Amino acid sequence: MSQQFEHVALIGLGLIASSISHAMRRADMNTRITGYARSSTTRGKARKLGLCDKVYDSLADTVRGADLVVLAVPVGAMGAIAKEIAPFLKEGAVVTDVGSVKRAVIDAVGPSLPKSVHFVPGHPIAGTERSGPDAGFASLFDNRWCLLTPEAGTDKKAITKLRKFWEALGANVDEMEPDHHDLVLMVTSHAPHLIAYTMVGVADDLKRVTDTEVINYSAAGFRDFTRIAASDPTMWRDVFLNNKEASLEILGRFTEELFALQRAIRIGDGDFLFDYFTRTRAVRRSIIEAGQDTDEANFGRGATDTDK
């Protein structure tokens, strides 16, 4: 197996795939890029942006001859696509995905792929609330983690080659067991999204009572929630439907904690609230120390450079 991919096929040309393309170009990879999108609007935008050497409306044409195939569509769409591309995959190709959930993708994609290809599932922990081909940018993966979740027995050379690919795009790469990934990401990303969706929903109901006050006097906490709650509805619907067990586990725990805080407020237990908020403050400090955020205003982020 050669050291670098010579032909990368991007299936789905949204935020993540377009960022991969920009980061590949920035890394000066001498790699052919083919891309597939289902809608002519997305294909048109991708062509205009020059994201790929060739954009196709056919999955077969996109993957033919590729030595890396990246599935970058919503989690719920991956199984059907895997089935469709299977007969056209090159022998020895690496197939990966960027889905935010790993077990459901492995179960949906794995069985459809021929034995002659290497399936190495992945998840770049990087994104924004924006979507589509024009949302991508080259630095999206810089210093962000990309987690690979291969099943035991997967070809080591294929894993190493994919690891090097992500490192060239700016990411730090680690391996994780898929079910563990799904639980960890539920805590760090998925449940916070659901909470943001809920809080914005509550405010939206309230808005009917207070007119435009919720919008006009929107403070930083709520504004951050609205940014998160503006994330793509299809993507997030699929994340929760495909990570059901971890969703219910973490939301159960969240509800218990919320009730404990509610009770402390009701009975005036200031010590409980103070100790709780002191403990959570320390969590933020450890994220900054791990180099995954800064202490600057707006968390050091630009308007579009945010994590998922």
Which residues of this chain interact with ligand NAP, rule CB under 6 A? 12-17, 37-39, 42, 72-75, 77, 98-100, 123-124, 127, 131-132, 135, 232, 235, 308
Smallest separation, CB 232 to ligand NAP (Å): 5
Smallest separation, CB 117 to ligand NAP (Å): 20
Give phi and psi for 71, each to the nearest 5: -85, 115
Smallest separation, CB 120 to ligand NAP (Å): 15
Pick 99 or 150: Cβ nearer ligand NAP: 99
- 172: nearest Cα among 146, 150, 140, 148: 146
Pick 146 or 200: Cβ nearer ligand NAP: 146
Smallest separation, CB 1 to ligand NAP (Å): 26
Smallest separation, CB 127 to ligand NAP (Å): 2
Pick 26 or 38: Cβ nearer ligand NAP: 38
Pick 62 or 214: Cβ nearer ligand NAP: 62
Smallest separation, CB 301 to ligand NAP (Å): 13
Give phi and psi for 11, each to the nearest 5: -100, 110
Pick 214 or 229: Cβ nearer ligand NAP: 229
Pick 31 or 243: Cβ nearer ligand NAP: 243
Pick 214 or 247: Cβ nearer ligand NAP: 247
Smallest separation, CB 302 to ligand NAP (Å): 15
> Could you write out the DSSP letters of every residue in the chain?
--SS-SEEEEES-SHHHHHHHHHHHHTT---EEEEE-SSHHHHHHHHHHT-SSEEES-HHHHHTT-SEEEE-S-GGGHHHHHHHHGGGPPTT-EEEE--S-SHHHHHHHGGGS-TTSEE--EEE----S--SGGG--TTTTTT-EEEE-PPTT--HHHHHHHHHHHHHTT-EEEE--HHHHHHHHIIIIIHHHHHHHHHHHHHHHHHHHHTTHHHHT--HHHHHHHHHTTS-HHHHHHHHHTSHHHHHHHHHHHHHHHHHHHHHHHHT-HHHHHHHHHHHHHHHHHHHHTTS--SSGGGG--SS----
